[in-house]
């Protein structure tokens, strides 16, 4: 998603579905799709790095079709036989997704609609955020979702204004970000994408649920998550996550391959730190079939050198093989990250997520977003794992990735309310495939 100027005309396709309700006897359900075109009296623009303007409250609705047009499953009307009645409907979960016309979302949205995250008895509403350039593509995404006839997908809306799309959001999946162009420095990418996430943080603060769970995917995701939470003071910082689950999944795969086991035997895998080449895949605490990895894989040189490099370069190797980035596996990892928060963590295990460091038990610097081992009771919240070993080798690597995140924080100080920015990034550490 680019931080380019947005013009005054906005087009919104809104799919309005029925709110689930308890049904008795024979019931008839119907839903509708309405296309609404709105004109705003103001222009939404990129603003100064430390400012994001709210959209003007006054809007004018025009060109509303005289007759509501219906498409796909959202127009279905049917009778429920007594034996088919749903005994109890859960309330809709509102999920907002930025970058919704992109490749990652093209895989992710259909997984969400199918019930992979919240279960086969949980209806959802999808609110899709794009840009002026992607509005027609968003309409196409909505049409495909309609044609897929997902019974749990009750509502779909699209727009380019985060203050509208994030309204009442209970989950916000922030995927859209500007890709790094040729010759662009890491500091430049931090500033450009930081402005996007500052704006989205303010929008979440203004209109989302007070308990919204936010997963930041757009890179550099750790610092983007920090910017976002700093611009959303009314939302608990603990609710913000930077996605490092794909790195965890890749690390599990490499350990399983080396040990000659299936990957479900690998547990307690932690990715520490930044989503960059300074990330630390932790083989000290990981387990294979319940045993410490170092007891199963005795090749210390492979663990300390090749293992980490393979995890870091996996995305670049994939691009070399088929010419595109890892959109599908990223979507899977987003689903995994969400499920880890809504499903109780298996006894003794944990999962990786980039979270706010205040109060952490590992000696990591506070006030940054750092990937650490987490456990959840399945209520959307988490706690940090405490039974974690840190030896001198691991500590040295943690310090390196910590130093990078502190440098990134200084580089975006103008976006977090901490004064003037000062960039002293030590080196270019973007992961292969993200440049």
pLDDT value for 404: 95
pLDDT value for 298: 97
Q: Which residues pair with 358 in a beta bridge?
A: none
In the set 107, 241, 275, 414, the catalytic residue is 275
**Tokens encoding 90:** 């859960």
Is the backbone peptide bond immediately before 220 cis, with ω within 30 degrees of 0? yes
Q: Exposure pattern of 145-181 as b/e (b: 16+ CB <10 Å)? A: bbeeebebbbbbbbbbbbbbbbbebbbbbbbbbbebe
Residue 49 neighbours by CB under 8 Å, 6+ apart: 191, 194, 195, 198, 414, 415, 421
Q: pLDDT truncated to tens, each residue of the chain (435 aa)?
A: 333 333 333 333 454 333 333 333 333 333 333 333 333 333 222 233 333 333 333 333 334 333 323 334 444 544 445 445 455 568 999 999 999 999 999 999 999 999 999 999 999 999 999 999 999 999 999 999 999 999 999 999 999 999 999 999 999 999 999 887 777 777 888 999 999 999 999 999 999 999 999 999 999 999 999 999 999 999 999 999 999 999 999 999 999 999 999 999 999 999 999 999 899 999 999 999 999 999 999 999 999 999 999 998 888 888 888 788 889 999 999 999 999 999 999 999 999 999 999 999 999 999 999 999 999 999 999 999 999 999 999 999 999 999 999 999 999 999 999 989 888 887 777 665 554
* Whether the Cβ atoms of residue 265 and residue 289 lie closer than 8 Å to each other: yes
pLDDT value for 187: 83
User: What is d(CA 20, CA 70) in angstroms, rounded to the nearest whole number?
Assistant: 19
* Whether the Cβ atoms of residue 193 and residue 117 lie closer than 8 Å to each other: no
What count of other Cβ atoms lies within 10 Å of the Cβ of residue 372? 26
pLDDT value for 430: 66
**Tokens encoding 28:** 């008839």
Residue 118 neighbours by CB under 8 Å, 6+ apart: 93, 124, 342
pLDDT value for 24: 33
Compute, in degrees rounded to 10, the torsion defined by CA atoms 379, 383, 389, 395.
Answer: 120
User: What is d(CA 235, CA 169) in angstroms, rounded to the nearest whole number?
Assistant: 12
Active site residue 275: yes
Per-residue pLDDT tens digits for 80-120: 454 454 555 689 999 999 999 999 999 999 999 999 999 99
User: What is d(CA 341, CA 213) in angstroms, rounded to the nearest whole number?
Assistant: 9
Per-residue pLDDT tens digits for 236-291: 999 999 999 999 999 999 999 999 999 999 999 999 999 998 999 999 999 999 99
pLDDT value for 23: 33
* Whether the Cβ atoms of residue 401 and residue 274 lie closer than 8 Å to each other: yes
Residue 119 neighbours by CB under 8 Å, 6+ apart: none
pTM of the model: 0.82
pLDDT value for 198: 98
pLDDT value for 45: 27
Q: Which residue in 183, 192, 250, 184 sits closest to 223, CA to CA?
A: 192
pLDDT value for 185: 78
pLDDT value for 433: 56
Q: Which domains, and CATH codes, for the chain? A: 245-326+337-415 (3.90.110.10)
């Amino acid at each position: 998603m680019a931080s380019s100027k947005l013009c005054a005309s906005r087009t919104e396709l809104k799919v309005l579905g029925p709110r689930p309700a308890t049904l008795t006897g024979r019931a008839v359900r119907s839903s509708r799709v309405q296309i609404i075109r709105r004109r705003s009296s103001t222009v939404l623009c990129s603003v100064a790095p430390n400012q994001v303007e709210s959209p003007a409250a006054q809007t004018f609705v025009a060109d509303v079709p005289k007759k509501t047009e219906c498409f796909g499953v959202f127009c279905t009307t049917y009778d429920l036989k007594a034996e088919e009645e749903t005994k109890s409907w859960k309330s809709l979960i509102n999920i907002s997704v930025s970058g919704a016309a992109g490749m990652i979302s093209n895989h992710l949205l259909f997984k969400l609609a199918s019930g992979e995250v919240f279960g086969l008895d949980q209806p959802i509403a999808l609110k899709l955020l794009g840009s002026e350039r992607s509005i027609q593509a968003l309409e196409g995404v909505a049409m495909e979702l309609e044609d897929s006839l997902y019974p749990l997908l009750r509502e779909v809306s699209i727009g380019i204004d985060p203050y509208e799309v994030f309204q009442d959001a209970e989950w916000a999946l922030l995927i859209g970000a500007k890709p790094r162009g040729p010759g662009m420095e890491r500091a430049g990418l931090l500033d450009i994408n930081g402005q996007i996430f500052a704006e989205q943080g303010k929008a979440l603060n203004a209109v989302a649920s007070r308990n919204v769970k936010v997963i930041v995917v757009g890179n550099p995701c750790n610092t983007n998550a920090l910017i976002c939470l700093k611009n959303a003071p009314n939302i608990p910082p603990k609710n913000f996550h930077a996605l490092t689950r794909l790195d965890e999944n890749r690390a599990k795969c490499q350990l399983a391959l080396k040990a000659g086991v299936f990957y479900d035997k690998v547990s307690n895998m932690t990715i520490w730190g930044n989503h960059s080449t300074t990330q630390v895949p932790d083989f000290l605490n990981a387990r294979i079939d319940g045993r410490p990895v170092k007891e199963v894989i005795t090749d210390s040189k492979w663990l300390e050198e090749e293992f980490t490099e393979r995890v870091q370069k996996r995305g670049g190797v994939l691009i070399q093989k088929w010419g595109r980035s890892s959109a599908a596996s990223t979507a899977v990892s987003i689903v995994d990250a969400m499920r880890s928060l809504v499903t109780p963590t298996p006894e003794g295990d944990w999962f990786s997520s980039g979270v706010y460091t205040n109060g952490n038990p590992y000696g990591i610097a506070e006030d940054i977003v750092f990937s650490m081992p987490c456990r959840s009771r399945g209520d959307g919240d988490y706690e940090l794992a405490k039974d974690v070993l840190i030896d001198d080798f691991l500590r040295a690597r943690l310090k390196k990735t910590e130093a990078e995140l502190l440098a990134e924080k200084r580089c975006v100080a103008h976006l977090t309310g901490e004064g003037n920015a000062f960039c002293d990034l030590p080196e270019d550490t973007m992961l292969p495939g993200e440049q």
